[in-house]
Every structure is written in structure tokens, then in C-alpha cells.
Amino acid sequence: MPTGARPLPAHTDLLGEALHLLRLTGTLYCRAELTAPWGVAVPALPGLMTLVVVTTGHCWLDVDGAEPRLLQAGGLTLLPHGVPHRFRSDPHAATEALFDIPVEQISERYEIMRHGGGGEATQVTYGAVRFDHAAGNRLVAQLPPVVHLDAWDDEWLHSALRLISREAQALRPGGETVLTRLADILVIQAIRSWLDTAPEARQGWLAALRDGQVGRALTAVHRAPGREWSLTSLAREAGMSRSAFAARFTDLIGEPPMRYLTHWRMQLARNHLQQTREPLSAVARRFGYHSEAAFCRAFKRTFDISPGSVRPAPPPSDSHAAAPRPQSRHRQGQPRDRVDHRVP
């Protein structure tokens, strides 16, 4: 057994541990007050998952390659892959580009959009979230283009959506916090529901996590990515021979164990580098590399960029920090003209 390793208890919930690793960041929520006829065209939002809750009325969702879907009040819809999509008051309504529509920005994480022709009213709470952990990226890759839950099938979900609807109607003190935290939970709940019911959730990485042997090795890596793993030690975690473990791992996940280990470490390392200015030598040791040079080579092979290029920008000098910032166009009620951390 590797130094410091401990066997996983027989009752360990391997898939539950992976869900625990999901971290949602960069969340922003928009309350859209829409009156027919209206249509909003949302561009590609790479790396973002979007969440849609119709709180009043209804709308049509149109995603390329799929039939338009009617979204009624009391349901939850996820679009996991940041693909272009359109919302309309009816299937044939004209659309306007999202970032050409003015918004009232309440805070860095909450804004209100009012749009449409003055007819029948629809209200939508729309959120965008990003997963900042390798587990999230792996899981999201297996999700279908659209995940939809009907709240009437789940009393807890129904209650949560009613609370979101109430908070969205009148943003009281603390309401933004309630909305954003509830919406984060709803994303996880929707994924859990999909995991419980979808045949696709029994394939690939998720199937490997559910596997009684390979899943134990995966979880050991997830718990301690910086440990000095080898094919032998991973096979020992799984309780299998080296050859049988390597074959089963590759069959389930689609890549050999040691390549998976490298990719997992590099995903974690990139996230870590984006948030810290810790010396590269320390980052290398954190993720299982004895030398900074070896770590940099692995990072370059994985992402085709150097580790230093993903570092956060250094803090501004005192003279720059004292300079006044230009007023946000959002706060002036002007159309948005680019995609940044303020997403729909």
C-alpha cells in the first residue's frame, strides 16, 4: 500500500464524493421581465452552464439540433455546454441579440432585463455558472444538451422554485444571496436527478466511478492527486492485477490510468494557478512532481501553454489603484457589447 494510504470503507459513496468536488464559481443571475412578442438570442458561452427557471408564464427554448421545447412555470432547465440558444414568446417570434438588450445591474452577480412588446407577461430567472474543478468538467462533458426537471414530480424542487419565484418578484435585503445560493443547489439537484435516471449516466467516467474496483482507485486519486502514484499502487487500491486494472480502466474511461492521472493533476493545477501566485516549485510538489521542469513540461503538453500564462495578473501599483474606474455601461442601462464575467 502506498505510504500514508488508507483503504476506502466498503460503504464509501464514490459518486457522492465526486459530486462533493463540484465547485460552482462565476455565478451571475438575471431576472428577465418579458412581454410578448419577444425573443432573445443567447450566443455561445464557452465553459459556462446555464440554468433557466420560468417563474411566470411560459416561453419556447430553441437549441440547434433539437426540437423547440415549451418551458412552463414550475420547471427547471439546464443547458450544460454553453451552446447558442434562443428564447421566444412563441416559436416564430423574432429574436434580438442578448448583449444588445439593456439591463439594470443590481450588483456584480444580479441584474434585471426588461424587454418585449407589451403583451402577455413572462418572467424568467436565468443563471450562468462555471465549474472550477476537474470533477465538474468530467461530469459536464457527459451531460446531454438539455436537462429538464418538472418541479411537480419533486416536492423539494417545487418548494425551492416557489421560493426563487417569490424572491425574484421582490428583491428584499439578502434576496440576492438567497437566489444565488438556491440556484447553485438547484444545479446540483438537477445533475443528481439526471444521474439517477439517465442511461447515459451509466457510461464513461460515471460508469467508472460506479464500478466497485476502478471507482475505488479513481476516488483515491481524487482524494490525493499529489501522492506518488504508480500503476501498481493504483491497481492495489482497486484490488486487481496491474494488467486487469489497466485494461478495465481504459475500457471504461477511454484512456490509460497514468494518462488520466496526468490530465487530472493538470486540470487541478491550472485551477490552482489561476487563483494563486504560489511559486511554481511548490505547485509542482503539490501535484506530485519532484521538479518544476517536469511539471512545466507536463502542463505544456496538456494545454499547449506555459503554467505562468494562466497566473492572475499582479495587483496594480498604488498609483493605478488610486485612479477612478470608468462607470459601468450596465449601470447606465446601455446594451452590453462583449462577453465577460457578466453573462446573461
Please write the tens of the pLDDT for every residue from 2-41. 333 344 444 346 677 667 666 666 667 788 999 999 999 9
Average pLDDT over residues 289-315: 91
- Residue 254 or residue 198, greater confidence: 254
| Closest residue by Cα to residue 98 from 111, 86, 83 | 86
Average pLDDT over residues 199-215: 88
| Closest residue by Cα to residue 31 from 98, 121, 108, 111 | 111
Please write the tens of the pLDDT for every residue from 119-143. 999 999 888 888 777 777 888 888 8
Contact (Cβ atoms closer than 8 angstroms) between residue 52 and residue 61: yes
Q: Burial letters for 155-193: b for 16+ Cβ neighbours within 10 Å, e otherwise?
A: eebbebbeebbebbeebeeebbebbbebbbebbebbbeb
Please write the tens of the pLDDT for every residue from 52-72. 988 889 999 999 878 899 999
CA-to-CA distance for 130 and 132, rounded, in angstroms?
Answer: 6
Residue that the C-alpha cell 489603484 belongs to: 321
Bridge partners of 107, per DSSP, are 110
Average pLDDT over residues 334-341: 41
CA-to-CA distance for 335 and 174, rounded, in angstroms?
Answer: 27
Average pLDDT score, the chain:
81
Please write the tens of the pLDDT for every residue from 228-249. 999 999 999 999 999 999 999 9
| The residue count for the chain | 344
Percent of the chain predicted with pLDDT > 70? 77
Please write the tens of the pLDDT for every residue from 278-287. 999 999 999 9
Contact (Cβ atoms closer than 8 angstroms) between residue 124 and residue 32: yes
Contact (Cβ atoms closer than 8 angstroms) between residue 41 and residue 84: yes
Helix (H) or strand (E) segment spanning residue 51: strand 49-56
Average pLDDT over residues 155-182: 69
Please write the tens of the pLDDT for every residue from 177-204. 776 677 777 787 788 888 888 888 788 8
Tell me the Ramachandran region of residue 331: left when phi exceeds 0, alpha when psi lies from -120 to 50, beta otherwise.
alpha
Which pTM value belongs to this model?
A: 0.73
* pLDDT > 90? residue 344: no
Q: Burial letters for 288-301: b for 16+ Cβ neighbours within 10 Å, e otherwise?
A: bbeebeebbebbee
Q: Classify residue 265 by burial, with Cβ atoms within 10 Å: 0-12, 13-18, 19+.
A: buried
